[in-house]
Structure 1
Amino acid sequence: MAFRLKRKLRQWLYLAHRWIGIVTCLFFAMWFISGVVMMYVAFPGLSDQERLAALPEIAWETARLSPDDAMKAAGSTRYPRELRLMMLDSEPVYRLSDWDGKRQTISAIDGRAIADISERQALAIASHHPASKSPRLEEIIHRDQWSVVARYDPLRPFYLIDLGDDAGTKLYVSSRSGEIALDTNRTERIWNWLGSIPHWIYPTVLRKDGALWRQVILWSSGICLVVGITGIWIGILRVRLKRRYADGNITPYRGWMAWHHIAGLIGGAFILTWMFSGWLSVNPGQYFADRNTARDMLQRYGGHDAATIAAKLPIAQPGAVEARFVWLDGSPLMITKSRSGAQSVHDASTGAATVLPQDRLWNAAARLLPSAQITAKIELKDYDSYWYAHHRERELPVLRAIFSDDAQTWIHISPVTGDILGQMDASRRGYRWLFNALHSFDFQLLLKYRPAWDIVVILLSILGAIVSVSGVVVGWRYLKR
């Protein structure tokens, strides 16, 4: 009885792996091949460097409103999440982002609210982009493949503007605020159809419904995970390392099936970890904590909550394309950025340059979690396993405050501007290993000695592709029968 049950279970194991695997091996092959493309071509976005490069220098002499005036004109009752001064073509404007996600643009000349941008204005804004040659309006769009995600919702619809350069650069200019939300070029658009779009299962018709897309990722990667587990199980059952088969081989299979068996045994563990970490990418069950810093924490860190910071416009700072107005430890600051990304810190009331002593930053950080103590104050001068650069640069040096709370929170702070750059608790550090490390192989040793990382990931991807493609061929032959 036990023998017959065991044989029946094994039979079902083989059948489940075979027939579910026929479909899922297409997904496996797609993920491994597209993953290699993603190593070198990212999904289109707008980096801070690209954003700053497209901004004119602030015309301080034409600005009439102070930051306090701008908040009053916007109807702010508490200090906004973000308050910036920059140019909208030839007009200085304040851009405010509230804690509920609402965005407002206020003219720094006359205090009017700007909520509608004309085609002429959009083309003028695009003309400041360094790649701009002969900008022309291509169309007005609400959502497309590259602007599909929800973070662009407050800025829709967009003027899609072709800059007329050799790279085929296109800008997405918000018709509400005039902000450049996104840029793409021809290379990104072509390669992403072989990279991020198939890898993330990212067609517009699916991705525009975030909840549905998340369920598709959970179920597709979850089913593939089951196929991977059953495949490794069958592979171990069928391999013979000591008492080999009659022809002396360790596998009973020939041709494509032999490739599938042996490659699966060699790379099975890596394939399984990639599937598992891919399943974790959408945070199933919301098990891992949010990485964003809560409003009350930031308010305590700033030491101020009223809609005030400077009653008059600070002294002009030549070369600045953006000025942010922030509170830190109860003091008003203006942080300016040049087109190159260089930052300077000034007193928001006078415009005088200032340097932030570390003691002041640690003092402000101590108020982030009033029920906990800072148990360690660390200045990181080199990257480590939790603060590192991979596909994008990260500021160094950086301050790390380690707290004694139950969640074991770490806060990373810029020693230059005092900005909170990131928050990690024990669950997010676990996620770093279970997702980032297993899925992207971003181990410091590999990243430090590139192209070691490239070689390892490409070789493992080739191995995964062999398992997947051989599975597709074997599955197709079964279907033909």
Structure 2
Amino acid sequence: MRRRLIRQARRWLYITHRWIGIGTCLLFAMWFVSGVVMMYVAFPGLTDSERWAALPPIAWDKVQVTPDRAMAVAGLKTYPRDLRLAMLNDTPVYRLLGWDGVRKTVSAVDGQVIDSIAPERALAVARFHPGAIAPQMVETVERDQWSVTARYDPLRPLYLIALGNREGTQLYVSSRTGEIALDTTRTERVWNWLGSIPHWIYPTVLRKDGAAWRQVVLWVSGTCMVAAVTGFWIGILRMRLRRRYAGGAVTPYRGWMAWHHIAGLIGGIFLLTWMFSGWLSVNPGESFSGRATPRDALVRYAGNETPHIVANFQSRPRPGAVEARFVWLGGRPLMVLTDGDSRRTVADPVTGAAISLSDDEIVDTAKRLLPEAVINLRQRLTQPDAYWYSHHQARLFPALRVGFDDDAHTWFHIDPRTGDILGRTDDSRRTYRWLFNALHSLDFALLLQYRPAWDAVVWLLSLIGLITSVSGIVIGWRHLVR
């Protein structure tokens, strides 16, 4: 009976792997090829540095409306999540982001709410972009492949503007606020059809529905995990290291079957970890905590929740600043000025005098983030470590790390120049870092320190995975034909 059960179990093991493998081997091959492309070409996005570089200097002499007045015009009952002063073509405007995600733009000249932008004005905005040669309106976009995610919903519809440069850069300018929401280049648009789009299963028709897309990724990657597990199991069962097969072979197979068996055994562990970590990328069952800092903690850190801040622009703050952000830090109002080269300084919003924040002041204010806990970690990071490093995402250095003795052992990373909270992590997120970033992207310090080594290892493992996948495609096709 025991032998019969074992034989039956093996039979179903083979059947499961064969038919799931036939359905998924193309997906495996696609993932290995697209993953290599993603090593060098990221999905299009607009960084802060790119946004700042495309803004003209603030015309301080035109600013007649104070931040307090702008918040009142916007109808805010609490201090917004974000409050900035920047230029909309030749007009200074306040850009306000509420805690509910609603964006509002208020003219700093006459206090009028701006809720629509004409195409001509959007073209004028595009002309300040450093890559602009001959900006030309292409079309009005509600949603396309590059602006598919929900983050752009408050800015839609978007004007698509071609800059006319060699790189084929296209800007997406909000028809509601006049903000540059996104930029893409020809290289990004072409290569992403071989990279992020197939790798993330990212066609517009699916990705526009976040919940449906997430379920598709979970079920597709989960099914592929079954194929990988059963295949690796069969590979071990059919391998002989002692009582070898005829001719001293460790595999009973020949041709494509042998390639599939050996490559699958060599790269099987990595195949499984890649599939498992990819499955974790959409956080199944909300198993891991979020990265965002809770609103209550941010309000305590700011030390102010009322829609109020005093500012005086008669002192003419630093010339060349393209953005002024008005924040509170421990009950103290601050103005963070940024120029087109991404240099930032902190100033008093009334006098315009420069302010230098000390680490002690920031750490003392950080106690408000978790008032029920005690700070037990304080580090000034000047170089990358296992939890704060630049790879797929640029990290700011130096940075302050402040840790608490709460149950989750929460850390906050803070910009020592401005006091901005750069990120939050706890035990759950640190576990996710190893289960996803380490297993899926091979984000190990030794490899990242010597970047060619990381490239070589990922290329080698991807090649082994591709051999396993292509051989599986051939085997599956032959089986279907028979």
What's the CA shift for 1:385? Answer: 0.2
User: Could you say what the CA RMSD is over the residues aligned between the two structures, in angstroms?
Assistant: 0.8
- Equivalent pair of 1:273/1:439 in contact (CA under 8 Å): yes
SS in structure 1 at match of 2:451? coil
Alignment correspondent of 2:43:
43
Deviations 1:38-82, CA, capped at 9 Å, x for gaps: 000000111111111110000001110111111111111111000
Alignment correspondent of 2:14:
14
Alignment correspondent of 1:122:
122
What's the CA shift for 1:262? Answer: 0.3
What are the within-5 Å matches in structure 2 for residues 119-198 of structure 1?
A: 119-198=119-198
Deviations 1:426-453, CA, capped at 9 Å, x for gaps: 0000000000110001111111111111
**Deviates most, 207-216 or 303-312:** 303-312
Deviations 1:370-389, CA, capped at 9 Å, x for gaps: 11110111111211000000
Q: Percent identity?
A: 64
Alignment correspondent of 2:348:
347
Q: Please, which runs of 5 or more residues in structure 1 have no aligned partner?
A: none
What's the CA shift for 1:192? Answer: 0.4
Q: Does 2:404 match 1:403?
A: yes
Alignment correspondent of 1:73:
73
SS in structure 1 at match of 2:246? coil
Alignment correspondent of 1:466:
467
Alignment correspondent of 2:458:
457
Q: Please, which runs of 5 or more residues in structure 2 have no aligned partner?
A: none
> How far apart, CA to CA, are the structure 2 residues paired with 1:295 and 1:312?
28
> How far apart, CA to CA, are the structure 1 residues paired with 2:432 and 2:161?
39
> How far apart, CA to CA, are the structure 2 residues paired with 1:311 and 1:59?
16
> How far apart, CA to CA, are the structure 1 residues paired with 2:236 and 2:318?
68
Deviations 1:101-131, CA, capped at 9 Å, x for gaps: 0100000000000000001101101111111
> How far apart, CA to CA, are the structure 2 residues paired with 1:426 and 1:290?
11
Alignment correspondent of 1:330:
331
Alignment correspondent of 1:446:
447
SS in structure 1 at match of 2:201? coil
What's the CA shift for 1:393? Answer: 2.4
**Residue identity in the other structure for 1:399:** L
Alignment correspondent of 1:480:
481
> How far apart, CA to CA, are the structure 1 residues paired with 2:3 and 2:332?
77
What's the CA shift for 1:316? Answer: 2.4
- Equivalent pair of 1:315/1:351 in contact (CA under 8 Å): yes
What's the CA shift for 1:247? Answer: 2.6
Q: Does 2:230 match 1:230?
A: yes
Give TM-score, length-normalised by structure 1.
Answer: 0.99
**Residue identity in the other structure for 2:418:** T
Deviations 1:122-160, CA, capped at 9 Å, x for gaps: 110111111111111111110000000000000000011
Q: Does 2:359 match 1:358?
A: yes
Alignment correspondent of 2:102:
102
- Equivalent pair of 2:311/2:349 in contact (CA under 8 Å): no
- Equivalent pair of 1:257/1:470 in contact (CA under 8 Å): yes
> How far apart, CA to CA, are the structure 1 residues paired with 2:238 and 2:365?
62
> How far apart, CA to CA, are the structure 2 residues paired with 1:7 and 1:316?
80
SS in structure 2 at match of 1:417? coil
> How far apart, CA to CA, are the structure 2 residues paired with 1:246 and 1:319?
78
What's the CA shift for 1:206? Answer: 0.5
**Deviates most, 278-287 or 164-173:** 164-173
- Equivalent pair of 1:329/1:360 in contact (CA under 8 Å): no
Q: Does 2:125 match 1:113?
A: no
Aligned residues: 481
- Equivalent pair of 1:67/1:312 in contact (CA under 8 Å): no
What's the CA shift for 1:311? Answer: 4.6
**Residue identity in the other structure for 1:248:** G
